[in-house]
Structure 1
Amino acid sequence: MEQDKNREEQQQNEQQMQETVQESVQESVEESVQEKPKAPVIVQVGGKNYEIVQNHKEGWNPEVFRDRYSEVLERYDYIIGDWGYSQLRLKGFYRDNHPKATKDSTISYMVDYINEYCNFGCAYFVLQKCKEQPQAKAKSGS
């Protein structure tokens, strides 16, 4: 009986600790999403322009990004790159009101994606596709 009570208290403490950690991670992600670089940084790759809207822990590396970039990502409004085990992983997200978007493919799902699928505390960046795209310019990037 005493052991059951102790086990239950321990489970409640662990759950409270997890909720506290998740809330603080989510708050820091939300704060950093709102913080933009002072001058917009525009990247051109695959004939598309992207703005770096977030560069958490200096996750942005243009050379590695250009090597990992795939044309499949062109359909998305946002690209998130996260680092794990010295490897860059790229994932595309749509804007929230995009007709092809599902709940877990919209940018509002980004916080959940980072919490659930990325290494804890990893460096990452967020690119947003610019609305005005270049007119048939020379290809720089991939």
Structure 2
Amino acid sequence: MEEEKNTEQIQDQLQEQIQEPAQESVVESVEEKPKEPVIVQIGGKNYEIVQNHKEGWNPEVFRDRYSEVLERYDYIIGDWGYSQLRLKGFYRDNHPKATKDSTIASMVDYINEYCNFGCAYFVLQKSKDQPQAKAKSGS
């Protein structure tokens, strides 16, 4: 009789272990679905967060670190190392001023070679829809 109880307990435990990974994969697939685009406005420009790896996006720190020099770029990469945010600009692939290392196609190389292994980072893309300039009154 006791052997049957032990067998049942073991079967119950195995069944629970089998079901747990299935639940985790469902949660992961829900998190991978694209969310509403997040638009950030800074320096009179609109940017969209296109990637937020390991929740690297922090709007307060970004605003503190942002420099007008970054306005010329089509993409801004922010990566974290030693609790500090570092920002770097990249051009779109067919930009006339772009070099091989300054295009967004080289972003993966940049992250692998210059960022801390496994660091949190985010990618902002300059939005095509920029805010309208306010008309100056003629008074």
**Structures share fold, TM-score greater than 0.5:** yes
Pick aligned residue for 2:59 from 37, 62, 65: 62
**1:128 partnered with 2:125:** yes
Give the direction of change, closer, same or farther, for the CA distance of 1:128–1:36 in structure 2 (3 Å limit). Answer: farther
Q: What SS does structure 2 have at the residue aligned with 1:98?
A: coil
Task: Output one character per residue of 1:26-79: Cα deviation in whole Å (capped at 9) or x when no partner.
Answer: xxxxxxxxx784100000000000000000000000000000000000000000
Q: Determine if the alignment matches structure 1 residue 99 to structure 2 residue 120.
A: no
Identity of aligned residues (%): 94
How far has the Cα of 1:132 moved from its partner? 1.6
The one-letter code sitting in structure 1 at the alignment partner of 2:67 is S
Runs of 5+ unmatched residues, structure 1: 1-34, 138-142
Q: 1:87 to 1:36 in 2, by over 3 A?
A: farther
Any conservation in 2 of the 1:36–1:54 contact (CA below 8 Å)? no
Give the TM-score normalised by structure 1.
0.70
Alpha-carbon distance in 1 for matches of 2:81, 2:107: 17
Q: Provide the rounded CA distance (Å) in 2 between the counterparts of 1:132 and 1:100.
A: 22
- Counterparts in 2 of 1:61 and 1:43: CA distance versus 1, 3 Å: same
Question: Which letter maps to 1:88?
Answer: L
Who is 2:87 aligned against? 90
Amino acid at match of 2:48: E
2:100 and 2:114 map into 1 onto residues whose CA distance is 16
* Shift in alpha-carbon separation, 1:107–1:44, aligned structure 2, 3 A: same
CA separation in 2, counterparts of 1:104 and 1:124?
A: 18
Aligned counterparts, 1:1-142, within 5 A: 37-136=34-133
Distance 1:86 1:136 in 2: 36
**Count of residues in correspondence between the two structures:** 103
User: What stretches of structure 2 of length at least 5 have no aligned partner?
Assistant: 1-31, 135-139
Letter in 2 for 1:43: V
Partner of 1:8: none
- Measure, in 2, the Cα distance between the counterparts of 1:133 and 1:37: 23
